[in-house]
Structure 1
Amino acid sequence: MLRKNFQPKSESRYFKAIRRKRPWLLRRGVVLQHDNVTPHSANLTQQWLQRYGWEILPHPAHSPDLAPSDFHLFGPLKRHLGGMAFETEDDFISELRNWFDNLDVDFFRAADVELDKMLQVLALPPMFTTLRIDLNIIDAVDAIHQISMCLKKQCIDTGLDTFEIFQHSNYEDCLILKNRGPIPVGKVEKEVIVDVACGMAVLRGAHVFQQGIMGAPASLAKGDTVSVFADLDKKCLKGLISKYQGTKLHVGNGTSQVSRSEIFGSNKTNQRGIGILMTNPVYEAPSLSEMSFPWLVPQNLPSIACVHALDPQPGETVLDMCAAPGGKTSHIAALMSYKGKIVAMEKSNQRAKKLEQLCIQNVQVYAFDSTLALTQDNAAGQKAGPPFLPASFDRVLVDAPCSALGQRPCHVNRISVNQLHSFPVIQHKLLLVAAELLKPGGILVYSTCTITLEENEQQVARFLAKRPDMKLVNPHTKLGNDGLGGCDLSDTHRTLVQRFDPSVVMCNLDSHSRDLHNVDTIGFFIAKFVKVDCKENT
């Protein structure tokens, strides 16, 4: 932006020092405030503006990557100043003043509007349920028929209308069901309190299982009609008898399948059974727990799109670096027709054991930290499991640990700023290891289920800058939007990534459009890379 003889040297030294020390500080619980592009870049910008006489508002208390000052303000400013050069400091100050003076109140108000839309839609369940079928076992026509029969019985039991089901136009192994809601449901006298996870599952079609019930009236008997509430405060004690006075969300009414004594008493029964059959939910969606077909996997559409972007082929060697709970791993295996080799790594021993229990053909599961999966030792690399030598895999999936802020529905999120800032560090380490493990010409897919700029677009920009041999490429089938501005990704690169932004459904879209199922999803991000010769990527 400024000529070299004008650029403050202290600024670049500051950035370098922060980059060098940031991982060390994070390990000690010290988190640096920053705004997307470079640690403390927004604070530095504020310091310079204050020096020139501008009054600066404090950074909002909510997540930094959701703040209006992020891509909304600094993105347009960066694009406006792009390519400009200034001979003097006065020229620079004059241009800044002109730009700010020409902004109206609506510009700043729009940031709050966009944030408000995002927060609103994250609290709502998607109005579509997506199912993945294994085409190695069944064809789509037969699958739709069997699922329809199951849904018909389910709707008879609950008294709900049947659900529309159709095949996705881009993915043959994806079926779509149209949900309904919100539906006005009156509250009844008897109330049952469930935990937040259970309540959010009910909003997506689940019944209430006994282990999710936190409180119920003393008089609760089998066959009673009850109103079900989710405990948003997470303060309800197990076994509560009186009406819960904390913050709670009404998710619908149902019929109790058990008495209170069967839930909490000495004669309590199998806690895995259904406790409340949801006959009048606020959102009507199919209960997926009743569809126990071996060829069927309930899966969010962006997760299905993620593995299709990877496009694994039979006979290849594929690495899934963060594999649990196994939905994407099983999809990779199915697309490979169970021919070839899949290495699935998961840091948690417990989650790795659950992954092994899926017994997926041609999948080798290892409880291992994927950030340590690379070795230069030929002897160590000859072993069956990790760590592995460079260029060991044809394709690598990095479905990275993330802040998960795109999950829907979500009425409460207690993630701390410290936790929020820990994820980009891990994600970057995983990407660097993945690039080394990938063969030349191989495919790498990076994905998250979050909406923050730093974990998505900025993470991709940082990776491309670090690894010039990794080229961002088109996913062939693109369902998501382009990436956000206000980061270091070029406009061309932003068109190659996929950002699933559910806040789009808050706009004036045709609610009857069949393509709405590609938009009304969880928040998600996908980037696809190919490993090339550095000269080819210049």
Structure 2
Amino acid sequence: MASVMLPEVTFQLDVKEHLEKCFLNEKAIAQVGEDVCKERWTNLLTALSYPPACTVLRVSTLHHSKEDTKQYLSQVLHQQYSLKDRPPADVNDHTNLDDTVVISSSSVAGTSRIPVIPSSKQVIVDRQCGLAVMRGADIYAPGVLAASIDMVEGDNVSVYVDVNGLCRRGLTKPFDGAKVFLGNGHVVMSRRELFVTNSEPRGVAVRLCEPVFDCPSLNGILTDRLFLQNLPSIVVGHVLNPVAGNRVLDMCAAPGGKTTHLASLMKDQGVLIALDKSQNKLNKVKQNARRLGLSCIQAFSYDSTKACSRDMVKLSNHDTEINAPPYPPETFDCILLDAPCSGLGQRPQICNQLQLSELKSYPAYQRKFLTTAVELLRPGGTLVYSTCTVTLAENEGMVEWILNTFPQLALSQQIPHLGGCGFEGTDLDVQHLSKLQRFHPVTSYTSASPTHCNLDTIGFFIAKFIKRMECEQTG
């Protein structure tokens, strides 16, 4: 594949300055040196622009054989890649996770590549569409901003993403703003259908046949067997490790990837409460549970920060009836708080428009969830806190606050531990940092050789806590 150098993700200036200070703070520099801190910062800015080179999927092993699922998936990819006129990507087991498979792209640095030469006719897509294309999607009509004036069905076209959001929809002349080449495709809808005869076009407008970033298209593929999920999100479920018969709470459950994973790990036995404030998002949790054949999940539209009521009688370990929130203290054996966060670890990104005031607001919001989680967790129970962001304040800084605020919580070693340790820059010591799990993204697309899928991930953070028994707290 052709090598395309993407521009670094752009942030609001004050946000970028804030993030840089986060990585280059005095404590971190004193502990690991300025060169290490600078390298982390520059690697992050580079990696965020690119999609991970490997596509990771979780297999619904509760109802389906992983080996059979891999065979079906390989057949689908063989058919898909035959249309691209190139060898299909490999489907392999993940070496550490028995319910996970990895599709490895052959189009990264250090491997044999077929140059992608842009066609003369062009299609310009918006940022949201462009990010989806980087992860393997075709080009759908709502995402098309402009196209060559003579574009008709059957044409070969080059596809570009508008970097700064400046392309006017329906533009008739060539777009001369900042853009990035994503690959070539076959036109399904003519320009006339897109902008003249159809006021609200729907469906596929261009099928990508020569992508620069060669991720497979998995929309609608083996939906009862597979869940497309970032690797760290799968690791979270294994770290919490609920077992059959547990009472489990997922405090921010939508769209349900982690929820359904937890239910599978529980063998669909016990009670899994899934909460989310948005009813529309919660409907996705229910839909995913149905398609994966999971019945232990009870989903409620509810503000998790208000999910504990001290006026309610505590449940005994033998109580199996658990209904709508709120719940009495010490109800749950396991709690997952995949917290609302600034999302700065998501990949790929082109132009991040997060405001500094919003970025700074997240830690206070996360503390509200954590306070409720501690109350709802039974002594001896497990709490896992995770984010898909990279800031110290939402990650290591939050762990420091938890340990200072809740002496009944003890930081616990994580299994599996596939990411790196926590970053320096807070008052957490080396022993604490070693128990944290931070996935700091790197990219295979700019390196001399492919990077392992455990490293070429989104930015992600995981902390695991055990609530001490009452005798330990008082002793």
TM-score over 0.5 for the pair: yes
Which residue pairs with 2:302 in the alignment?
368
Q: Any conservation in 1 of the 2:409–2:466 contact (CA below 8 Å)?
A: yes
* C-alpha displacement of 1:409: 1.2
Structure 1 pair 290/343, CA: closer, same or farther in 2 (3 Å)?
Answer: closer
* C-alpha displacement of 1:348: 1.7
Which residue pairs with 1:67 in the alignment?
20
Give runs of aligned pairs for residues 134-149 of structure 1, distance below 5 A: 134-149=60-75
Q: Over residues 445-497 of structure 1, what are the superposed CA-to-partner deviations in whole Å (9 max), with x where a residue is unaligned?
A: 11101111111011011011101111111112100100011112121010001
Which residue pairs with 1:95 in the alignment?
none
1:222 to 144, 148, 153: 153
Give runs of aligned pairs for residues 268-347 of structure 1, distance below 5 A: 271=202, 273-347=203-277
Q: Any conservation in 2 of the 1:158–1:277 contact (CA below 8 Å)?
A: no
Q: CA–CA distance in 2 between the matches of 1:139 and 1:356?
A: 23
Q: Between 148-157 and 499-508, report the one with greater CA deviation.
A: 499-508
Q: Over residues 46-81 of structure 1, what are the superposed CA-to-partner deviations in whole Å (9 max), with x where a residue is unaligned?
A: xxxxxxxxxxxxxx844455324755532344x59x
Which residue pairs with 2:367 in the alignment?
428
* C-alpha displacement of 1:427: 1.0
The one-letter code matched in structure 1 to 2:221 is M
- Stretches of structure 2 that go unaligned for 5 or more consecutive residues are 1-12, 316-320
Q: Any conservation in 1 of the 2:277–2:302 contact (CA below 8 Å)?
A: yes
2:345 to 406, 415, 425: 406
Which residue pairs with 1:173 in the alignment?
99
Q: CA–CA distance in 2 between the matches of 1:318 and 1:409?
A: 32
Which residue pairs with 2:47 in the alignment?
121
**Is the partner of 1:460 in helix, strand or coil?**
helix
Give runs of aligned pairs for residues 485-500 of structure 1, distance below 5 A: 485-500=424-439
Q: Any conservation in 2 of the 1:345–1:367 contact (CA below 8 Å)?
A: yes
Higher RCO (C-alpha 8 Å, min separation 6): 2
Structure 1 pair 461/154, CA: closer, same or farther in 2 (3 Å)?
Answer: same
Q: Any conservation in 1 of the 2:108–2:444 contact (CA below 8 Å)?
A: no
Q: Over residues 407-439 of structure 1, what are the superposed CA-to-partner deviations in whole Å (9 max), with x where a residue is unaligned?
A: 111121111110111111111111111111011
Query: Are residue 533 (structure 1) and residue 459 (structure 2) matched?
Result: no
**Is the partner of 1:357 in helix, strand or coil?**
helix
Q: Between 134-143 and 230-239, report the one with greater CA deviation.
A: 230-239
Q: Any conservation in 2 of the 1:136–1:337 contact (CA below 8 Å)?
A: yes
Query: Are residue 511 (structure 1) and residue 441 (structure 2) matched?
Result: no
Which residue pairs with 1:37 in the alignment?
none
Q: CA–CA distance in 1 between the matches of 2:247 and 2:165?
A: 44
The one-letter code matched in structure 1 to 2:61 is L
Q: Quick one: percent identity of the two aligned structures?
A: 37
Q: Any conservation in 2 of the 1:380–1:387 contact (CA below 8 Å)?
A: no
Q: Any conservation in 1 of the 2:53–2:443 contact (CA below 8 Å)?
A: no
Q: CA–CA distance in 2 between the matches of 1:425 and 1:65?
A: 17
The one-letter code matched in structure 2 to 1:215 is A
**Is the partner of 2:227 in helix, strand or coil?**
strand
Which residue pairs with 1:83 in the alignment?
none
* C-alpha displacement of 1:511: 3.1
Q: CA–CA distance in 1 between the matches of 2:311 and 2:364?
A: 25
2:410 to 471, 491, 494: 471
Which residue pairs with 2:8 in the alignment?
none
* C-alpha displacement of 1:202: 1.3
Which residue pairs with 1:451 in the alignment?
390
Q: Between 167-176 and 359-368, report the one with greater CA deviation.
A: 359-368
Q: Any conservation in 1 of the 2:314–2:331 contact (CA below 8 Å)?
A: no
Q: Any conservation in 2 of the 1:317–1:395 contact (CA below 8 Å)?
A: yes
- Stretches of structure 1 that go unaligned for 5 or more consecutive residues are 1-59, 81-106
Q: Over residues 177-229 of structure 1, what are the superposed CA-to-partner deviations in whole Å (9 max), with x where a residue is unaligned?
A: 11123664322221111121211121122211222222223322111111111
Q: CA–CA distance in 1 between the matches of 2:310 and 2:220?
A: 48
* C-alpha displacement of 1:138: 1.4
Which residue pairs with 1:186 in the alignment?
117
Q: Which protein has the bigger helix share?
A: 1
The one-letter code matched in structure 2 to 1:237 is R
Q: CA–CA distance in 2 between the matches of 1:147 and 1:269?
A: 34
**Is the partner of 2:56 in helix, strand or coil?**
strand
Equivalent pairs counted in the alignment come to 448
**Is the partner of 2:453 in helix, strand or coil?**
helix
Q: Any conservation in 2 of the 1:221–1:259 contact (CA below 8 Å)?
A: yes
Q: Between 141-150 and 241-250, report the one with greater CA deviation.
A: 241-250
Q: Between 291-300 and 303-312, report the one with greater CA deviation.
A: 291-300
- RMSD between aligned residues: 2.5
Q: Any conservation in 2 of the 1:450–1:523 contact (CA below 8 Å)?
A: yes
* C-alpha displacement of 1:443: 0.8
Structure 1 pair 76/218, CA: closer, same or farther in 2 (3 Å)?
Answer: closer
